[in-house]
Amino acid sequence: MKRIIIDREKCDGCLNCNVACISAHEEGSNFYTVNLQSIDSETRNFIKFDPKTGYTPIFCRHCDEPECVLSCMSGALEKDPKTGHVQYDETKCAACYMCVMNCPYGVLKPDNKTHTKVIKCDFCEDKPDGPSCVKACPKHAIEVKEVSL
Amino acid sequence: MKIVIIGASAAGISAAKTIKSTKPDTEIVIISKEDRIHSRCMLHKFLGHERDAQGISFVNEDFFEKNNITLLNNTTVIGLEPDKKIVKTHDNQDISYDKLLIATGASYFIPPIPGLRESKNVYGFRDLKDAQLLDTECLTAKNAVVIGAGLVGMDAVAALLERGLKVTVIEMTADIMSLQLDKKSAQAYQQLFEKEGAEFILNDKVVSVDVNAVGRGEMVHLASGKAVPADVIVIAAGVRPAFRFVEESEIKTNHAILVGDDLQTNINGIYAAGDVNGIAGIWPNAMKQGKIAALNMLGENLRYDDRYALKNTMNFYGLTTLSLGNINPEDEEKCDIFTREDRNNYQKIVIRNGIIQGVIMQGNINGSGFWQYLIKNKIDVSGINKDIFDLSFADFYGINQENGEYNYAV
Ligand SMILES: Cc1cc2nc3c(=O)[nH]c(=O)nc-3n(C[C@H](O)[C@H](O)[C@H](O)COP(=O)(O)OP(=O)(O)OC[C@H]3O[C@@H](n4cnc5c(N)ncnc54)[C@H](O)[C@@H]3O)c2cc1C
Ligand code: SF4
Ligand code: SF4
């Protein structure tokens, strides 16, 4: 399967990946028009900063054994057997947030506005040239690579 | 090989899925006393008329056909004969197996309070059938009494309020959801429920119920002397693992079916997963146990070590909370307690000798999944020189260079 491989050393915290993610999930939006102040603007990936360790990209791993899928009580989270990616179906979700609790890396979150959905990386499955964050990273700190399951 | 699974819920279905994706030619028969698959964690959505019965299923409608699994629904198992490898059902079927998984979960318990068990309008809130019967009652009932303000009770309260009933909640402890919350976080929810019209009677308990001429409970009497009128009564005072049908077999039990770390019972080839083995009472653990038991039935030798069960999330009226571990420590436990608050958040961390014992995050629970890992694995955080509320996975960041998965560098 394909996974976004992270090289933490290369990240310099520019947050282009965040902006790209927000804009990729907003109808008709691009880098110049995206409204970062909007409560609807949600990024699916996170950069943490610490003075000692620098910037740390926290991105969904689409885990081999996804704890989020195993905790989902509605069938909304499933690991696609073909792509290996963990996909989320908003229409099934019951907003119980057991998945938020069970992702060991703290990737998942409720949506800011309504607390009725989960915000989750979908690997930009509908975009022909792959994850938008990866394309936006000027340092190549994140790259899509094929990994064996 | 033929695997029989009793119970078609979290543990049973997760086992069946695992078996079919590992060894698709395995024959699977699932026996369930219920009519259809559903997630009991969504019963309140059914009773509140937000979703229909298919809407609270956690598998697709064609799940059994597509995976070539035989489902015997509306069929209750009444006994086992392990020496003959046979399961006996209420309608006199003898169903043979090579390996057996007991995933019968738990059932609710009605305390022996005079009038309560006898009343025809007393319901649990566990199965779709309970919610369907309550649904019918809601057409005519005006006053509902819910006994027990735990998570299940509060799910029922939310649904009954949604249906326009006047709901009175009776709870023995001083606060609602007292296993998951402390006073402050409990009160935040209590106020939200009160705003929706619920009334709470705390620190009190039911002592008797007056049953009328047609067998319905109509007045609930409390220890304090109060009396609350009821058209319908929901009992949410706890559950018991459901294993009556093994009582005449040699399977060892205490309050639950006893299993080893491989989730096998004392009888070779018979496994038990989910609420029925008493390890945990929540969905994620039942799913994971179903998976591990399934792989072991197929010949693996895996251990179930995720025994940490003091964990929950809740979401009522848009207020979300994560609750982990021991959040109300006694003085003699000598814990340090840190709290942080702002207009929308209440956070509490209980810590002893650098090891986190409990966490409450009420309000913002964004990315809070890593806390469970820290508690479960007793990770010492005392050496990390920052505000404890600012911890994240980044402080433990490790990565597998081969496949890009994260791990904890601790
Ligand atoms: C209202 C409610 C809300 C909940 N909310 C949450 C939540 O938000 N998060 C969470 O993690 N957990 C929640 N839980 C707990 C969770 O639902 C359980 O932990 C989980 O369902 C356990 O799954 P299981 O497969 O072990 O057993 P169960 O779900 O209890 O299923 C057992 C199945 O076996 C069948 N069965 C039993 N005996 C027999 C027999 N003799 N013959 C044939 N079939 C039989 C039953 O009919 C049932 O279908 C909730 C529970 C309730 C009741
Ligand atoms: S959300 Fe978390 S548990 Fe789920 S696949 Fe992504 S990293 Fe893994
Ligand atoms: S919040 Fe939605 S996706 Fe997450 S576990 Fe609950 S039902 Fe599944």
User: pLDDT tens digits for B4-34?
Assistant: 999 999 999 999 999 999 999 999 999 999 9
Give the three-state DSSP class for B174: coil
CB of A118 closer than 8 Å to CB of A109: yes
CB of A74 closer than 8 Å to CB of B42: yes
A95 lines ligand 3 (CB under 6 A): yes
Give residue B11 CA to ligand 3 midpoint distance, Å: 17
Q: What is the pLDDT of residue B385?
A: 87
Is there a single domain that holds both residue A113 and residue A135?
no
Give residue B40 CA to ligand 1 midpoint distance, Å: 6
Model pLDDT for residues B79-91, shown as the tens digit of each residue: 999 999 999 999 9
Query: Which candidate in B291, B304, B313, B361 is best for mutational testing of the A interface (most A CBs within 10 A)?
Result: B313
Q: What is the pLDDT of residue B80?
A: 97
Q: What is the pLDDT of residue B307?
A: 83
Q: What is the pLDDT of residue B24?
A: 96
| Band of pLDDT at residue B248, cut at 50, 70 and 90 | very high
Closest CA to A123 of A137, A112, A134: A134
B348 strand-pairing partners: B339, B360
Atom 48 of ligand 1, residue of closest alpha carbon? B7
Q: What's the CATH code of the domain at A36?
A: 3.30.70.20
Q: Quote the ipTM score.
A: 0.95
Is there a single domain that holds both residue A90 and residue A133?
no
Q: What is the pLDDT of residue A96?
A: 97
Å between A100 CA and nearest CA of chain B: 6
Sign of CA dihedral A35, A116, B320, B359: negative
Q: Counting atoms of ligand 3 from 1, which one is nearest the CA of A98?
A: 5
CB contact under 8 A, B370 and A95: no
Q: Which residue in chain A is spatially nearest to B309 when comparing CA positions?
A: A102
Q: Does B39 touch chain A (CB under 8 A)?
A: yes
With beta carbons under 8 A apart, name residues in chain B contacting A8: 397, 399
> How far apart are alpha carbons B174 and B167 in whole angstroms?
18
Q: What is the pLDDT of residue A28?
A: 84
> How far apart are alpha carbons B167 and B161 in whole angstroms?
7
Closest CA to B5 of B81, B72, B64: B72
Is there a single domain that holds both residue A56 and residue A72?
no
> How far apart are alpha carbons B156 and B149 in whole angstroms?
9
Model pLDDT for residues B213-235, shown as the tens digit of each residue: 999 999 999 999 999 999 999 99
Q: Which residue in chain B is spatially nearest to A42 when comparing CA positions?
A: B366
Is there a single domain that holds both residue A105 and residue A130?
no
Atom 8 of ligand 2, residue of closest alpha carbon? A63
DSSP state string for B244-273:
GGGTTSS--BSSSB---TTSB-SSTTEEE-
Q: Does B14 touch chain A (CB under 8 A)?
A: yes
Structure tokens at B138: 């809601």
Arithmetic mean of pLDDT, B311-325: 97
Is there a single domain that holds both residue A113 and residue A143?
no
Is there a single domain that holds both residue A11 and residue A39?
yes
- Computed over every residue of chain B, the mean pLDDT equals 97
CB contact under 8 A, A115 and B318: yes
Q: What is the pLDDT of residue B187?
A: 98
Å between B324 CA and nearest CA of chain A: 9
Q: What is the pLDDT of residue A30?
A: 85
Q: What is the pLDDT of residue A32?
A: 87
Is there a single domain that holds both residue A16 and residue A33?
yes
Q: What is the pLDDT of residue A148?
A: 84
Is there a single domain that holds both residue A24 and residue A41?
yes
Phi, psi torsion values for B54, nearest 5 degrees: -65, -35
Give residue A67 CA to ligand 2 midpoint distance, Å: 7
- Model confidence at B380: pLDDT above 80: yes
Q: Which among A44, A90, A98, A102 is the best mutation to test ligand 3's pocket, defined by most ligand atoms within 8 Å of the CB?
A: A98
Å between A2 CA and nearest CA of chain B: 10
Atom 33 of ligand 1, residue of closest alpha carbon? B7
- Model confidence at B398: pLDDT above 90: yes
Structure tokens at B26: 């395995």
| Band of pLDDT at residue B112, cut at 50, 70 and 90 | very high
Q: What is the pLDDT of residue B32?
A: 98
Q: Does A147 touch chain B (CB under 8 A)?
A: yes
The number of folded domains in chain A is 2
Is there a single domain that holds both residue A38 and residue A91?
no
Model pLDDT for residues B173-227, shown as the tens digit of each residue: 999 999 999 999 999 999 999 999 999 999 999 999 999 999 999 999 999 999 9
In which domain, by residue range, is A89 found?
63-120
Give residue A101 CA to ligand 3 midpoint distance, Å: 10
Closest CA to B93 of B108, B77, B111: B77
> How far apart are alpha carbons B133 and B60 in whole angstroms?
25
Is there a single domain that holds both residue A134 and residue A97?
no
- Which parts of chain A have pLDDT scores under 50? none
User: Which of B311, B394, B408 lies at the smallest CB-CB distance from A48?
Assistant: B394
CB of B132 closer than 8 Å to CB of B228: no
CB contact under 8 A, B404 and A147: yes
Model pLDDT for residues A59-71, shown as the tens digit of each residue: 999 999 999 999 9
Domains observed in chain B: 2-108+240-298 (3.50.50.60), 122-237 (3.50.50.60), 312-408 (3.30.390.30)
Question: Judged by CB atoms within 8 Å, which residues 293-352 of B form the interface with A?
Answer: 311-315, 318-320, 322, 324
